[in-house]
Amino acid sequence: MSTENPQAGGAAAPLLGLLPTVGAPAPERADAARNRRKILDAAARIVAEDGPDAVTMNQVAHASGIGVGTVYRRFGDVSQLLWALLDDRERQFQEAYMSGPPPLGPGAPAAERIDAFLDALVDRVGEQREILLAAHSAAPRARYHSGAYRVMHTHVALLIGRLRPGSDSTLLAHLLLAPFSPDVVHHLTVEQELSADRLKAGVRELLRLRA
């Protein structure tokens, strides 16, 4: 992450508490909401193209067409902006699998929803891999105590319970989510150069080994 702002220099610390259970954002004026959306979308593009270290408040302001003063007032510094970006993406992801259209959302059989969820999780972790990896490196076990993980785990456990009544769905959900740790995804996608499609196919194959 950038050290453009002095408070952003110790980037790992603000990332320790990333990804709580997210709810509806606080109400805000329509113009403020539009500006927030433009800023977050611009930050997401920069992260996707050049990684989180390339993010600066000036660059985000330029890419979003929003004044740099407004960017600072809304987010404070780069670390807070990246935190907000992850929170925003997590909110979108949760909305998709909890209330979005099937098969990711309600209305499809449990097996189809599990497949859709794992596919979406590959994309989710891949999209934000570098920021999630920074958080994981700073506190490897924090992932399992975050609100986001607890929500995902509960969701997957419920689907497994429907698919396999009587199974130890709580344990199986932990095991099913384990490969999606940011360090594992980093190893597979960067060091092993595997595509997202190959990861998705591999997860499907793994689930069918003892079918």
pLDDT reading at 12 higher than 90:
no
pLDDT band at 8 (very low <50, low <70, confident <90, very high): very low
- d(CA 86, CA 182) in angstroms, rounded, equals 14
pTM for this predicted structure: 0.73
pLDDT reading at 125 higher than 50:
yes
pLDDT reading at 25 higher than 60:
no
CA atoms within 13 A on the CB side of 202: 12
pLDDT at 11: 37
pLDDT digits (tens, 9 = 90+) for 142-161: 788 888 899 999 999 999 99
pLDDT digits (tens, 9 = 90+) for 156-175: 999 999 999 999 999 999 99
Least confident of 18-22, 76-80, 88-92, 96-100: 18-22
Burial 189-206 (b: 16+ CB within 10 A, else e): beeeeeebeebbeebeee
pLDDT at 48: 80
pLDDT reading at 17 higher than 90:
no
- d(CA 151, CA 64) in angstroms, rounded, equals 32
